[in-house]
Amino acid sequence: MNRSRLLFLVFSSLLVLPMLMALVVAADPGTGRQADWRKSARGPHGERAESTEEDTFDTYLKYLKVFSEVLGLIRDTYVDEPNTDALMAGALEGVTDAMDPFSVYVPGPAVPGYVKALATGKSLSGLALLKERGATLVMSVEKGSPADAAGLKVGDLVAKLDGTSTRTTPLWEMQEALAGPPGTKVSLEVIRLGVPVQAAFDLKPFTPPAVSLSQVGETPETEAAGNGDTETGAGAAGAAGKKHAAPAPPAPTAPMAPRSPANPQGEKTATVLRIPSFRAGTAEQVRGELGARGTAGGAPGSSEAKLLIDLRGVSSGDPEQAYEVAKLFASGDLGAMLRRKQELRRFESSDTPVWQGRLVVLVDRGTAGPAEVFASVLQQRAGAELVGERTLGYAGHRSTADLSTGSRLFFTDAFYTGPDKKPINESLKPDLLVSERNRTFLEKDVPMSDLILRRGVHHLLDEPALPASAGHTAKKAA
């Protein structure tokens, strides 16, 4: 090995070794030592991130050797002279990308701006993005938000943001761009069904949609019985019906939604409960909405008591609040928060559920996080049937670790579960799958979101409940 290669190996080792050493110490429970990042790892409840993985120091040295060799080859033989800082940043981003789409490495100088962007969240754009394996996708779009008005859809592939390719742009930079000062113009180029689509909007505050209850028929243009609302478009179930203004007091008896009424055209309609997010107070809002029309319902547990819950595109909120809402529909062991098979927190209810009728839950690939927790509990404990697409597959608890360089690591340190205690880190599979492959000829021009709504209403009103599957094992065993 010549002198230049030796110097390069030493230089790259000095850059990477501190980070790998921290991982080694944290992963070795027998050393009795605690690294600085492990001491500073923290979550909203004060828990500390710990590791039981037994990788050896020699293993990490092997990885370091391979990394140094690759970096050396790139430096010496790549067509253009590479930027070392850019290479290192890309390598660290690759590590977090390999973990999950929501783990992020943020360089020291960018940490304050990113923390501010996290606090702003979707409040000015209504748009949430995720990046996985270099591809940036639209994860959710809040109804009534600037992003919604611009026509962005869940599943859009984001090619450019403000004229810059997203392939080489880290997620934290894109999140900062969506949380700038009000009035900032944001432009995107997205790929939808293979066709480039341009979209632009100005950042501005908007009122998030509220919990609502409405009547929806089997066709998109169905006037609700008794309230004059009209259902149109992909978000009809959330846009029409009575909006919640203030939490109603708990009903003295178990309220039930109304029997399936008929609209002026004689078509049956289903009662649809839209839950756009899971935050503090959402449980009382849902209780109030159910109670508002419960007096018109059938007897508790009767075959006429049917409710459609709309979770299409819902990813906002706190998973722990999802358990609170689930208590209105199920009791017993509802789930837990797990870290490497260790139960950190358990969620259960001994109260009698408010709702005791048939449930159908609408989900799609934008259904994530707290909505997945809620759907999992209802499927396993309340016998709910999931109708729609496979969900995103991520209900994680995030923590942070400050590195010695001033950089910060945002990572998943635990996963929430349903009653079966399986971490929700994979997509929930619908009981009734709706996909491009099972469209009928008459449905070929119906947007997927509308098609899911239509199939869900039809299944609830006109089809018997599906046989209990493996997903309902927890309910049977209870």
| pLDDT (0 to 100) of residue 262 | 54
| pLDDT (0 to 100) of residue 472 | 53
| pLDDT (0 to 100) of residue 347 | 97
| pLDDT (0 to 100) of residue 59 | 77
- For 250-262, what is the mean pLDDT? 46
Task: Please answer whether residues 104 and 117 qualify as being in contact, where contact means their C-beta atoms are separated by less than 8 angstroms.
Answer: no
| pLDDT (0 to 100) of residue 336 | 97
* Lowest-pLDDT range of 235-244, 266-275, 424-433: 235-244
Task: Please answer whether residues 47 and 80 qualify as being in contact, where contact means their C-beta atoms are separated by less than 8 angstroms.
Answer: no
Between residues 405 and 181, which one has the greater pLDDT?
Answer: 181
Q: Is the pLDDT of residue 439 over 80?
A: yes
| pLDDT (0 to 100) of residue 478 | 41
- For 336-349, what is the mean pLDDT? 94
What percentage of residues in the chain have a pLDDT greater than 90?
Answer: 53
Between residues 30 and 466, which one has the greater pLDDT?
Answer: 466
What superfamily in CATH does domain 212-477 come from? 2-enoyl-CoA Hydratase; Chain A, domain 1 (3.90.226.10)
| pLDDT (0 to 100) of residue 132 | 83
- For 352-368, what is the mean pLDDT? 94
Asked if the 111-202 domain carries CATH number 2.40.10.340, the reply is no
| pLDDT (0 to 100) of residue 293 | 47
* Token pair of 438 as six digits: 């099972």
Q: Is the pLDDT of residue 29 over 60?
A: no
| pLDDT (0 to 100) of residue 341 | 87
What are 77-101's pLDDT values in tens digits? 888 888 877 777 777 777 787 788 8
What are 110-122's pLDDT values in tens digits? 999 999 999 999 9
Between residues 7 and 76, which one has the greater pLDDT?
Answer: 76
Q: Is the pLDDT of residue 255 over 90?
A: no
Between β-strands 332-339 and 306-310, what pairing exists: parallel, antiparallel or unpaired?
unpaired
Q: Is the pLDDT of residue 329 over 70?
A: yes
What are 223-252's pLDDT values in tens digits? 343 333 333 333 333 333 444 444 444 444
| pLDDT (0 to 100) of residue 319 | 96
Please give the C-alpha separations between residue 452 and each of 174, 220, 283, 360, in angstroms, as whole numbers. 30, 11, 25, 11
Number of H helices, E strands in the chain: 13, 20
| pLDDT (0 to 100) of residue 27 | 42
Q: Is the pLDDT of residue 6 over 80?
A: no
Between residues 223 and 20, which one has the greater pLDDT?
Answer: 20
CA–CA separation, 114 vs 253, rounded Å?
47
- For 132-138, what is the mean pLDDT? 88
Q: Is the pLDDT of residue 306 over 50?
A: yes
| pLDDT (0 to 100) of residue 8 | 52
Helix, strand or coil, per DSSP, at residue 230: strand
Long-range contacts from 152-156, C-beta under 8 angstroms, 24+ separation = 152/127, 152/188, 152/190, 152/199, 153/192, 154/313, 154/364, 154/365, 154/366, 154/449, 155/192, 155/365, 155/366, 156/190, 156/191, 156/192, 156/197
Domain extents in the chain: 3-82, 111-202, 212-477
Average pLDDT score over the chain: 79
* Lowest-pLDDT range of 57-71, 248-262, 370-384, 406-420: 248-262
* Token pair of 384 as six digits: 């709910």
Between residues 17 and 383, which one has the greater pLDDT?
Answer: 383
- For 154-178, what is the mean pLDDT? 93
